[in-house]
């Protein structure tokens, strides 16, 4: 179980700066001895109580607070996914939502909404010569490094594609974000990247992986070297998260299962039977905001029970319950024709119903 | 009349995978001896009963099921048509809707909606040198081949244009789709292509042609070598479909006439007096989803009378009745200013009124 820092309210206010938040994380890590004191806890404290997820959301959502998130994704083929993630983050309460994508994708993503800040910095192999790769890779990193410190969370993967050169650059971006203790949510093709290179996130407790069924299968195969066992889903997820050094994994499905290698939580509220593509992107953008709020909440020495929980797990629970509620409302109104944009339009109302703004 | 496979409910569930669906088609084709047992049926079982079309729609629309469709169309000149077809498929219930278009068209089509996945893979003559044609044609095909197996239906033609090199590539795409038993709906400039090369679809019972008056005239002239005879419209359509080897043809008009060379069906419900361009694209996208649902329905050994009907014909009936209903509602509200987008916005409500989602 995570210890809190014990600092008082004044500290919570101060900690709205990214630097202080990260210092809190470091202090917690030190208190935990790198998470080592979790290892003795073999019992799975799991529950499928969605009122708990709503309580978590209420606890971590601050009155109204500045958050900046960034999405790393968007290539020649995929532009919708990073947009969905970025706009969802804004609709939940982020003040600024950046997208780092390829040059081809940028004008299109910009055209979806003037609310986003879109950086055309990534490059795909087809666009560059072999001898230019090292120089361009350095340039891409330098460009993103200028911004990294300002973000409260990074989402890596929506619409990223699988170009080897691009994925190589993104791996380096993840390493730089990690050096700066910026929380990272990894989804979509970002999961393809880290399944091949688990070291990119291994041991990084500010990382969240949000695999769907197929992505989870590949991850289990790679890390646990076995097939998915649905009979022991909780234990398997717990083991997987532990094996990757205490990252938080949200296994998406009929119920979303969340584990950091210690506790296992489940969010099962009924959402929508419609499986329109893009819902995973809403989730990754939402989790980014909630994870960053949860870290602030935890560093604020709250006295409620939620402050004992790993903030990364809390962020996942809040993201999950909110998406389910918005999807339920959207389906009630749009039925078979429900699209991802319809769900995004209802994020605000859903959030207000669970946790009204002061 | 088509025989069903006789497989039980478990099979219906399993058949949601494209591969199994296509196996069902093969089994049905074998049972029919290549459609041979239809030849003795000379009577035209025709009716203009729209409650039948609504019943067909209700019968084939599954509770909510994953479908992936793709549109092949969109060039330097035309970008609206493939968008209308692709977004209509989503609004009816497809989970993913892809568009394969030229490089010029892609950013524009993407910008219409983040819900679509748009692949900038096709090329027009003006953009390439003669000596590059073979290489580029191979590249286009390789690009599309990676995806073909995943689609439950392909729509070929909306906004395709008539560039000879591009049409050559699209002909090859159709052949590849046919080899994989992917149903194909051919509309717009796709009909121009197959009127010149009827062999592309001849004998392929998973093909649907959706000609308007002029496209139908050209097809009759090419295949039956005569002028259109409106006095014997049903017989002529039946003969035309039979002559092209049992493809399904929907002759669009005041009434939509549908035949597979065996039965002839008519959908006459009043739609809208407004003839705004783009309604044909709504229809092709809708028919793609309904045809794929109908094949799943038929392979599921349903016990109702609809399961005896050619699923491709059922898909056309469902698409026709839905468009007419949505156009009626749109015109009631928007009157003279009714646009295609207004009709698309009412697809969901129309579908819900005919076949409420569970």
B115 vs A76: CB contact, 8 Å cut-off? Answer: no
A107 vs B: CB within 8 A: yes
What residues of chain A lie within 8 A of the CB of B290, using their CB?
none
| Cα–Cα distance measured from residue B255 to residue B277, given in angstroms and rounded to the nearest whole number | 18
Contact of A181 with A205, CB cutoff 8 Å: no
Contact of A343 with A323, CB cutoff 8 Å: yes
Looking at chain A, the whole-number percentage of residues with pLDDT higher than 70 is 84
Q: What homologous superfamily is domain A9-29+41-353 in, according to CATH?
A: Ribokinase (3.40.1190.20)
Helix (H) or strand (E) holding B196: helix B189-196
Phi/psi of residue A275, nearest 5 degrees: -110, 35
Chain center to CA of A358: 25
Cβ neighbours of residue A284 closer than 8 Å, sequence gap 6 or more: A85, A155, A157, A158, A185, A187, A188, A210
Joined together, the tokens standing for residue A143 give 């460009």
| Chain B interface test: which of A88, A103, A336 (most B C-beta within 10 Å) | A336
Looking at chain B, the whole-number percentage of residues with pLDDT higher than 90 is 74
List pLDDT tens digits, range A208-249. Answer: 999 999 999 999 999 999 999 999 999 999 999 999 999 999
B322 vs A: CB within 8 A: no
List pLDDT tens digits, range B80-123. Answer: 999 999 999 999 999 999 999 999 999 999 999 999 999 999 99
Helix (H) or strand (E) holding A89: helix A80-92
A337 vs B356: CB contact, 8 Å cut-off? Answer: no
Residue B252 has pLDDT above 90, yes or no: yes
| Cα–Cα distance measured from residue B251 to residue A179, given in angstroms and rounded to the nearest whole number | 64
B351 vs A337: CB contact, 8 Å cut-off? Answer: yes
| Cα–Cα distance measured from residue A301 to residue B76, given in angstroms and rounded to the nearest whole number | 59
A212 CB neighbour count, 10 Å cutoff: 16
| DSSP sequence for A129-180 | -GGGHHHHHHHHHHHHHHHHTT-SEEEE-TT----HHHHHHHHHHHHHHHHT
Strand pairing partners for A71? A99, A155
- CATH number listed for the domain at residues B45-298+307-323: 3.40.1190.20
The residue among B84, B93, B140, B135 whose CA lies nearest residue B113 is B84
| Chain A interface test: which of B87, B109, B114 (most A C-beta within 10 Å) | B114
Phi/psi of residue B186, nearest 5 degrees: -110, 125
B134 CB neighbour count, 10 Å cutoff: 9
B146 vs A: CB within 8 A: no
| Chain B interface test: which of A79, A331, A337, A341 (most B C-beta within 10 Å) | A337
A274 vs B64: CB contact, 8 Å cut-off? Answer: yes
Strand pairing partners for A250? A258
Contact of B291 with B185, CB cutoff 8 Å: yes
Q: What is the pLDDT of residue B65?
A: 74
Q: Are strands B68-72 and B153-156 parallel, antiparallel or unpaired?
A: parallel
| Cα–Cα distance measured from residue A256 to residue B352, given in angstroms and rounded to the nearest whole number | 29
Q: Are strands B264-267 and B256-259 parallel, antiparallel or unpaired?
A: antiparallel
B226 vs A: CB within 8 A: no
Domain positions in chain B are: 45-298+307-323
Task: Say whether B254 counts as a known binding-site residue.
Answer: yes
Residue B26 has pLDDT above 50, yes or no: no
| Cα–Cα distance measured from residue A273 to residue A204, given in angstroms and rounded to the nearest whole number | 34
Helix runs in A224-346, H state only: 233-243, 279-299, 311-334, 340-345
Angle at B47 between CA B42 and CA B210, to 5 degrees: 85
Joined together, the tokens standing for residue B15 give 């058949």
| Cα–Cα distance measured from residue A297 to residue A28, given in angstroms and rounded to the nearest whole number | 13
3-state helix, strand, coil in chain B (%, to 5): 55, 10, 35
List pLDDT tens digits, range B278-325. Answer: 999 999 999 999 999 999 988 875 556 556 799 999 999 999 999 999
Cβ neighbours of residue B248 closer than 8 Å, sequence gap 6 or more: B205, B207, B208, B209, B241, B258, B259, B260, B310, B312, B313, B316
Mean pLDDT, residues B12-27: 43
Mean pLDDT, residues B183-195: 98
Contact of A293 with A63, CB cutoff 8 Å: no
DSSP B267: E
Strand pairing partners for A99? A71, A118
Q: Binding site membership of A for (6S)-NADPHX: which residues?
A: 159, 212-218, 281
Residue B12 has pLDDT above 60, yes or no: no
What residues of chain B lie within 8 A of the CB of A335, using their CB?
348, 351-352, 356-357
Task: Choose between B304 and B142: higher pLDDT.
Answer: B142
List pLDDT tens digits, range B54-90. Answer: 888 888 877 777 789 999 999 999 999 999 999 999 9
List pLDDT tens digits, range B217-228. Answer: 999 999 999 999
B351 vs A: CB within 8 A: yes
B352 vs A339: CB contact, 8 Å cut-off? Answer: no
Phi/psi of residue B228, nearest 5 degrees: -70, 135
B113 vs A: CB within 8 A: yes
Mean pLDDT, residues A275-280: 92
Residue A18 has pLDDT above 60, yes or no: no
B241 vs A: CB within 8 A: no
Task: Choose between A34 and B230: higher pLDDT.
Answer: B230
Contact of A99 with A119, CB cutoff 8 Å: yes
The A264-267 sheet, strands edge to edge: A46-47, A264-267, A256-259, A248-251, A207-209, A184-186, A153-156, A68-72, A96-102, A117-122
Strand pairing partners for B120? B101
Q: What is the pLDDT of residue A49?
A: 53
Residue A323 has pLDDT above 50, yes or no: yes
B107 vs A108: CB contact, 8 Å cut-off? Answer: yes
B348 vs A334: CB contact, 8 Å cut-off? Answer: yes
| Cα–Cα distance measured from residue B100 to residue B121, given in angstroms and rounded to the nearest whole number | 6
A84 vs B114: CB contact, 8 Å cut-off? Answer: yes
Q: What is the pLDDT of residue A35?
A: 36
Joined together, the tokens standing for residue A189 give 């093709």
Cβ neighbours of residue A248 closer than 8 Å, sequence gap 6 or more: A205, A207, A208, A209, A241, A258, A259, A260, A310, A312, A313, A316
B357 vs A335: CB contact, 8 Å cut-off? Answer: yes
């Amino acid at each position: 179980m995570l210890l809190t820092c014990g600092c008082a309210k004044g500290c919570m206010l101060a900690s709205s700066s990214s630097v202080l938040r990260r210092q809190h994380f470091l202090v917690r890590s030190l208190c935990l001895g790198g998470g080592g004191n979790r290892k003795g806890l073999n019992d799975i404290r799991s529950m499928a109580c969605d009122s708990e997820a709503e309580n978590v959301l209420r606890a971590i959502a601050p009155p109204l607070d500045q958050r900046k998130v960034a999405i790393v994704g968007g290539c020649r083929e995929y532009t919708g996914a990073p947009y969905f993630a970025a706009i969802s983050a804004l609709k939940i309460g982020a003040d600024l939502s950046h997208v780092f994508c390829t040059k081809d994708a940028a004008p299109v993503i910009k055209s979806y909404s003037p609310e986003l800040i879109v950086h055309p910095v990534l490059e795909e192999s087809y666009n560059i010569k072999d001898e230019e790769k090292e120089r361009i890779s350095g340039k891409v990193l330098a460009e993103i490094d200028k911004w990294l410190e300002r973000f409260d969370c990074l989402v890596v993967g929506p619409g990223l594609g699988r170009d080897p050169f691009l994925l190589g650059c993104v791996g380096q971006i993840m390493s730089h974000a990690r050096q700066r203790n910026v929380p990272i949510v990894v989804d979509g093709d970002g999961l393809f990247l880290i399944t091949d290179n688990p070291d990119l996130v291994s041991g990084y407790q500010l990382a969240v992986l949000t695999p769907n069924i197929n992505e989870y299968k590949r991850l289990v195969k790679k890390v646990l070297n076995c097939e998915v066992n649905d009979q022991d889903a909780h234990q398997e997820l717990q083991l997987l998260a532990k094996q990757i050094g205490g990252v938080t994994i949200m296994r998406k499905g009929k119920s979303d299962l969340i584990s950091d290698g210690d506790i296992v939580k489940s969010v099962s509220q009924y959402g929508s039977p419609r499986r329109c593509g893009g819902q995973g992107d809403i989730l990754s953008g939402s989790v980014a905001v909630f994870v960053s709020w949860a870290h602030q909440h935890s560093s604020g020495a709250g006295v409620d029970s939620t402050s004992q929980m790993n903030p990364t797990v809390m962020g996942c629970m809040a993201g999950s319950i909110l998406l389910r509620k918005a999807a339920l409302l959207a389906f009630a109104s749009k039925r078979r024709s429900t699209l991802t944009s319809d769900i995004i339009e209802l994020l605000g109302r859903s959030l207000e119903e669970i946790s009204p703004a002061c």
